[in-house]
Structure 1
Amino acid sequence: MKRARLPLLAVLPATVISLVVAVPFVAGDHPLRWESGSLVPHLVLHDQDATRPAGSGSTTTASNASPAAPKVAEVAQKWKKGMPQWGAQLYWEDNPAHSLEYVEKQARLHANYLVGLHANSVSISFPFVTKNRFADEVSRGTKTPTPDRLARVLQIFHEAGLRTTVRPLMDEKTLEPDNAWRGSIKPADRDAWFASYEKFLTPYLKAADGEKAATFVIATELNSLQGDPHWDSLVDDAEKLFTGEVSYDANWDAYVSGPVTMPVRHLGIDAYFPVKVGDDASVQTLVDGWDNWLDRKATGPLPKITIAEAGIGAMNGAYHAPGDFYTKRAVNPKVQANWYTAVCQVVQERHMSGVYWWSIYFDDDPNTKPDDQKASRLDFAGRPQSEKAIKACFTSDYAGPGPDTAS
C-alpha cells in the first residue's frame, strides 16, 4: 500500500507558530527573506577548492597500490527507531584513479573513528554537477562516486553498526558566476531539469535500498525549487525504489522565513544560525541564540527535525558567521567546542531527531591534527576539545524523540 505523504508543515508537531516579520533582500539576482533588522548573508557554500586545496590539511595521499584495508575494529551501539541520530557528514569527492581497496580502507578508517566518538549514524554527502545556474540537466561529475562504490561504502558502515544516510549535494564549483549558490538555480525548462535529476538519482536510490540505508535525502538547499509540483511525482517514484525514509534538507534561512513545502515526512536543516556574541560567550548564551532563531518558526519540541549540518570554524569571530567556509582567522578551538556543546543542548531540549556535524572529508585521516595553514577551520577531526564535546554529546542520556515521532 502506498505510504501517505503530507506537506511538511502538516507533520510538524503541534507548536505555537510565530509570525516572521521579514523584508525582501536581494543577494546577487535572487531574493532572500530576512528577519527585519537582521540582514545576514548566506554563507553555506561547501566549496572544496576554497577550503581544502589539493594535498592540504590532513589529507592522506593515496595511490592505487593502497595497503590492505583494516577491518572494522569496533561496532557502534545499533541505532533503533526513536533513538537520536548522533553522526557526522562525510563528504566524498571520489577519485576514479583510487582503487576499490583504497576506498574500502578509507571507509573503515572513518567507521572506526566515528564509533570511537560514540556515533551511531553517518551521512554520506557526495557531489553531482550541472553546467550553470540556468542549465536543464544534472549529471555525475568526475568526482561523483559510482553507485557500486557507494554501495560498498554503505556496506562497510553497516558492518560497523552505523545508521546510514545518502545525500547527493549539487557541486557549486560548476555554477556560474563564481561562488553561486545551489539555492539560486533557475533552470529554464523545469520539466527537463526534474527529468534529468530523477534519471541521475535512480541508480543511487537503488544502491541505497540494496544496502538498506535508513534515509535518502532527495535534495539539499534548493531554495529556488522548493514547492515545485514536480517534487510530488519525483518523490513518489523515489519511494517505489527506496523503502527507507525520503527526506529533504533545507537551508537555515528558508526554514525560519516560512513553510518549507516539500512532499516528504521528515526535514533536515543545514543550521548555520549566526549568533552575534563575543568569543568568550557562555554555552547558555549560544543556546539562547539558537532558540531565538528556532522560535521564529515554532516554539517547543521539534521531534520531526534533524540538524543535518551543524558546524563552525575553530577561530575567533566565528559565532557571527558559522557557515563561513572561506575565512581563516586566528585558531580558537574553544569557540568550536562550545558551539558543539550548545547545539547538542538545543537538540536535546527541543526533542530533535539528532545532529550531524559538518564535516569529515573522505580522503582525510581523521586521527591526524589538521594543518591550520591549509585546512578548513570547520574541520573538527583531530581537534581534542571539539572531539571531547562530541563524545559528551553522543554519550549523553538523551533518549531521543521517541519511536512514534522519529523515522
Structure 2
Amino acid sequence: MKKLILLILFSLQLSCISQDRKKINGVSFVASRDQASQEHVDALLRINAESAAVMPFGFIRDVSSPEIIFDTERQWFGETKRGAKQYIALLHKNGVRVMMKPQIWIWKGTFTGTLKMNSEEDWKTLENSYTKFIMTYAQLAEETQTEFFCIGTELEKFIANRPEYWHDLVKNIRTIYKGKLTYAANWDEYDKTPFWKDLDYIGVDAYFPLSEEKTPTVEQLVEGWVPYKEKLKLLSENLDRPIVFTEYGYRSNDYAAKRPWLVDRSKDDVNLQAQANATKAIFESFWGEDWFQGGFVWKWFIDHKSAGGGGDNRFTPQNKPAEEIIRTFYKNH
C-alpha cells in the first residue's frame, strides 16, 4: 500500500511538472459587447489554441489621473467581472486554459507606460485604486480556478516610481490566488522590471523591431530576432524563470516588423505576406526553446466569421494566411 501511495504521488508530481512545462499556445480573447458562445470557442479550437487570455478593463481619464473606473454598467459585457466569468467558464468547459489579464485603458488610447502621478497624494490614490481593481480580478481568478494571472500590462513609469508597491501587491495577490503569476512588460521595459523573482513567468509583450523591409522574408526576420533572443535567454537563465510572450503578433500591413507596436487607423497598405512571414519567424525562433513557455496571439476577436479578412490591415490573423501558420505550429508544438 505504501508503495502504491508513493507511486501515485510520484505520478501526480510528474503530471504537474509536465503541465508547467507545456507550451502556452494561446490567443488574446478580445472582450466583446456580447456573451461568448460555443461557436466562438470552436473557432479558437480549430487553430489548436489550448490557452486564452481573458481581458477585463479598467479606465483612467488621463496619464496623471489616479482613479481607475471598472466593472460598470457602461462597459462592454466582456470588459466586466460578469463577462470575464462567463468567458472563463465557457473556455474551461472546452478544456482551454485561461490567463486572466486585467488591463488599463487611458482615454484616447494614450500609452499606459506613461501613467505617472504628479504628487505623493495622487500616487497613494492610484495605488489604492489599482489594488482594488487587481484584487477584484485576482479573487475571480481564484474562484474560477484560472490557471494564470497577469498582474498588469505595460505600466513602466508606475513600476519605476513605485517599486515597493509592486512587491507588496504580489504578496497580497498570493494570499488569495494560488495559480501562476506574470506581468506583461513592454518589449523595451522587461529588462528593467524589478520583481520578476516574485513571479512565476517573465512576461513580455513582444513587439520588437526586426526589419526595415517592406515585406521581409522569414529568414531575415529570424536573423532580426537573434540579439533579442540572446538577451531574453540570458535573463531567463539568470532569474530561473521561463519567458512567456504575454502578447505577440503583427499587423497585416507594409513594414509590419519595423515598428510592430504601432497602432493607427490607416486602412491602406494591406500586406498579408508580411504578417504571415513575421508570424512564422517568431515560431521558428522561440517555440523550440526549453526556456520559452509560449504566448498569446494579439489579437483574436470572439466573432471569428466577421473578423479580419483579406482587406484588413490590423493585428488579428483571423481569416488571413497567418491563421493557417498559427494552426499548423500550434498543432505541432
| Distance in structure 2 (CA, Å) of the matches to 1:104 and 1:388 | 23
Kindly indicate whether residue 137 of structure 2 is the aligned counterpart of residue 200 of structure 1: no
The residue aligned with 2:275 is: 336
User: Which residue of the other structure, out of 111, 135, 143, is the alignment partner of 2:65?
Assistant: 135
Query: Structure 1 residues 320 and 368, CA, compared in 2 at 3 Å: closer, same or farther?
Result: same
Please tell me whether residue 90 in structure 1 is matched to residue 29 in structure 2. Answer: yes
Matched, 1:317 2:243: no
- Work out the CA distance in 2 between the residues paired with 1:182 and 1:301: 25
| Structure 1 counterpart of 2:326, one-letter code | I
Secondary structure in 2 aligned to 1:289? Answer: helix
CA distance in 1 between counterparts of 2:207 and 2:297 reads 11
SS in structure 1 at match of 2:142 = helix
Task: Determine the C-alpha separation between the residues in 1 that align with 2:279 and 2:156.
Answer: 26
Q: Output the amino acid matched with 1:116.
A: R
SS at structure 2 position matched to 1:81: helix
Match of 1:47 in 2: none
- Considering fraction of residues, name the structure with more helix: 2
The answer on 1:238 being equivalent to 2:135 is: no
Match of 1:87, SS state, is: strand
Is 1:361 equivalent to 2:301 in the alignment?
Answer: yes
Contact 1:270 1:307 in 2 (8 A): yes
Residue aligning to 1:222: 155
Could you say which residue in structure 2 is the equivalent of 1:395?
A: 331
Structure 1 vs Structure 2: percent identity of aligned residues?
21
Q: Tell me if the contact between 2:24 and 2:50 (Cα under 8 Å) persists in the aligned partners.
A: yes
Residue 235 of structure 1: how far off its partner (Å): 1.4
Q: How far apart are the structure 1 equivalents of 2:42 and 2:299? A: 16
User: Residue 325 of structure 1 contacts residue 376 of structure 1 at CA under 8 Å; is this kept in 2?
Assistant: no
Q: How does 1:139-218 map to 2 (within 5 A)?
A: 139-140=69-70, 142-143=74-75, 145-172=79-106, 174=107, 178-187=108-117, 188=119, 189-218=122-151
Q: Which residue does the alignment assign to 2:316?
A: 379
* Counterpart amino acid of residue 330 in structure 2: F
Contact 1:121 1:163 in 2 (8 A): yes
TM-score normalised by L of structure 2:
0.83
CA distance in 1, matches of 2:307, 2:233: 39
Give the drift of 1:300: 8.9
Tell me, what secondary structure is at the counterpart of 1:123?
Answer: strand
User: Does 2:203 correspond to 1:273?
Assistant: no
Q: What are the ranges of 5 or more consecutive residues in structure 2 without an aligned counterpart?
A: 1-17
Deviation at 1:353, TM superposition (A): 0.3
Task: Tell me, yes or no, if the aligned pair for 1:86 and 1:121 is still in contact at 8 Å.
Answer: yes
Residue 329 of structure 1 and its aligned partner are, at CA, apart by: 3.3
Query: Counterparts of 1:170 and 1:366 in 2: how far apart (Å)?
Result: 25
Query: What letter is aligned with 1:156?
Result: L
Q: CA deviation at 1:148?
A: 2.9
Local SS of the residue matching 1:367: helix
Cα distance between partner residues in 2 of 1:81 and 1:252: 24
CA distance in 1, matches of 2:169, 2:30: 25
Measured in 1, the distance between the counterparts of 2:236 and 2:228 equals 14
Q: Is the 8 A contact 2:253 2:313 kept in 1?
A: no
Greater shift, 158-167 or 317-326, is seen at 317-326
1:218 and 1:109 mapped to 2: Cα distance? 30
Q: Equivalences for 1:295-314 in 2 at 5 Å?
A: 295-296=230-231, 298-299=233-234, 304-314=242-252
Opposite residue 133 of structure 1, the aligned amino acid is: V
Higher relative contact order structure (alpha carbons within 8 Å, sequence separation ≥ 6): 1
Task: Please state how far the C-alpha of 1:340 moved relative to its aligned partner.
Answer: 0.9
Task: Tell me if the contact between 2:29 and 2:52 (Cα under 8 Å) persists in the aligned partners.
Answer: yes
Residue aligning to 2:285: 346
Of the structure 1 ranges 245-254 and 311-320, higher mean CA displacement relative to structure 2 is found in 311-320
1:198 Cα deviation after fit: 1.2
For structure 1, list consecutive stretches of 5 or more residues without a partner in the other structure.
Answer: 1-78, 399-407
Cα deviation for residue 369 of structure 1 reads 5.7
**Pairwise CA RMSD:** 2.3
Q: Which residue identity does 1:253 align to in structure 2?
A: D
Does the 8 Å CA contact 1:87/1:114 hold for their aligned counterparts?
no
Q: Contact conserved, 2:54 with 2:87, CA < 8 A, in 1? A: no
Q: Does the 8 Å CA contact 1:300/1:350 hold for their aligned counterparts?
A: no
Q: Which range moves more in the overlay, 300-309 or 198-207? A: 300-309
Assess if the C-alpha contact under 8 Å between 1:246 and 1:265 holds in 2.
yes
Deviation, structure 1 residue 134: 1.2
Task: Give the conservation status (yes or no) of the 8 Å contact 1:249–1:269.
Answer: yes
The CA distance in 2 between the partners of 1:269 and 1:359, in whole Å, is: 15
Structure 1 residues 333-374: Cα deviation after superposition (integer angstroms, max 9, x where no partner): 111111111111122243310021100234xx213463666x
Moved over 3 A (4+): 296-303
Residue deviations 1:295-339 (CA, integer Å, cap 9, x gap): 345549766110111111112221212122214332221111111
- Cα–Cα, structure 1 residues 294 and 226, in superposed 2: closer, same or farther, change >3 Å? farther
Q: Which residue of 2 aligns with 1:111?
A: 41
